[in-house]
């Protein structure tokens, strides 16, 4: 029998965070893997440790890990002379992730403008909603740098 790497209290918290991530669009196994890597005492876990801690199949573990790697939610490293991969969250790179998300807002804002320009006048209520979304995105895009600046000031 393998040594338990999480406590019962951590297991409950992993489930709660996993449910939250599911509501954010993650698949159940991926949601639990990400939650585990955030909650476990050790920051890096092997494939087998993840599989055993969550009591999920090899296939579910592999699929979840590959999806999280593809979406850059986790990364892996190896130790010299070892073939074993150790997985960890990319939480330390949160500023980079935030920048990428903000760039995504700029992209969707631009696309939203094009969508609005080509919409027929026969759908005024729908068009109005699109314009409101575009307006909010424009506002958000302008305000975020100021918010980041204010946050940085609080850290000094």
86-144: pLDDT as tens digits:
999 998 888 888 888 888 888 998 999 999 999 999 999 999 999 999 999 999 888 98
Structure confidence at residue 4 (pLDDT): 85
Query: Region 33-60: what's the mean pLDDT?
Result: 97
Contacts of 151 (CB under 8 A, 6+ apart): none
CA dihedral 25, 26, 27, 33 (to 10 degrees): -160
Cα radius of gyration (the chain): 21
Q: In the predicted model, is pLDDT for residue 57 greater than 80? A: yes
| Structural contact between residues 54 and 32, judged by C-beta atoms closer than 8 angstroms | yes
CATH 1.10.10.10 for domain 8-89 = yes
* Tokens found for residue 84: 């074993």
Distance between CA atoms of 11 and 17, rounded to whole angstroms?
10
Give the other-Cβ count within 10 Å of 21's Cβ.
Answer: 20
Distance between CA atoms of 26 and 81, rounded to whole angstroms?
34
* Tokens found for residue 116: 């609005």
- What rounded mean pLDDT belongs to the chain? 93
Instruction: Provide, rounded to the nearest whole percent, the portion of the chain with pLDDT above 70.
Output: 98
Q: Nearest-CA neighbor of 87 among 96, 99, 100, 74?
A: 74
Q: What is the pTM of this model?
A: 0.78
Which of the four pLDDT bands, split at 50, 70 and 90, describes residue 3?
low
Q: In the predicted model, is pLDDT for residue 1 greater than 80? A: no
Q: Nearest-CA neighbor of 32 among 49, 45, 47, 16?
A: 16
Distance between CA atoms of 140 and 1, rounded to whole angstroms?
52
* 1 vs 118: which has the higher pLDDT: 118
């Amino acid at each position: 029998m393998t040594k338990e790497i999480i406590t019962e209290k951590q297991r409950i918290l992993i489930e709660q965070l996993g449910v939250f991530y599911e509501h954010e669009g993650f698949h159940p196994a991926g949601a639990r893997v990400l939650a585990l890597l955030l909650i476990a005492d050790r920051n890096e876990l092997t494939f087998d440790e993840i599989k055993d801690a969550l009591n999920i199949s090899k296939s579910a573990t592999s699929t979840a890990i590959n999806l999280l790697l593809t979406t850059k939610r986790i990364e892996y490293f190896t130790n010299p002379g070892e073939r074993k991969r150790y997985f960890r969250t990319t939480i330390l790179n949160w500023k980079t992730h935030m920048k990428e998300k903000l760039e995504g807002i700029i992209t969707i804002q631009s696309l939203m403008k094009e969508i609005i320009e080509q919409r027929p006048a026969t759908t005024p209520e729908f068009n109005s909603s699109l314009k409101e979304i575009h307006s909010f995105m424009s506002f958000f895009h302008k305000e975020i740098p100021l918010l980041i600046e204010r946050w940085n000031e609080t850290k000094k």
